[in-house]
Amino acid sequence: MMDKREIPKKIKTIRNKLGLTQEQLAQKIGVLLSTINEWENNKRKSSPLAIKQIEIHLKETGIEK
């Protein structure tokens, strides 16, 4: 499981590796654009379910195993 302290940086890194905008990543994992923005800027903490969705997406894209 992803370390919660690393989530803001990790989300931005994931987006950059995938070449996605905040909006596109939000659509892929089923959250609002504002949610991704707030996560990346450490203004909101993500839920365990959202973290799981990100991890699943990472595995599916082959970025992380």
Number of CB atoms found within 10 A of residue 1's CB: 7
CATH classification at residue 22 = 1.10.260.40
Enclosing domain of residue 14: 4-61
Residue 5 predicted with pLDDT over 70: yes
Number of domains comprising the chain: 1
- pLDDT at residue 1 in the model: 55
8 Å CB contact between 36 and 22 = yes
Backbone φ and ψ of 41, nearest 5°: -95, 10
Sign, Cα dihedral of 20, 60, 33, 51: negative
Which one-letter DSSP state was computed for residue 43? S
Q: What is the pLDDT of residues 27-38, one digit of tens each?
A: 988 899 999 999
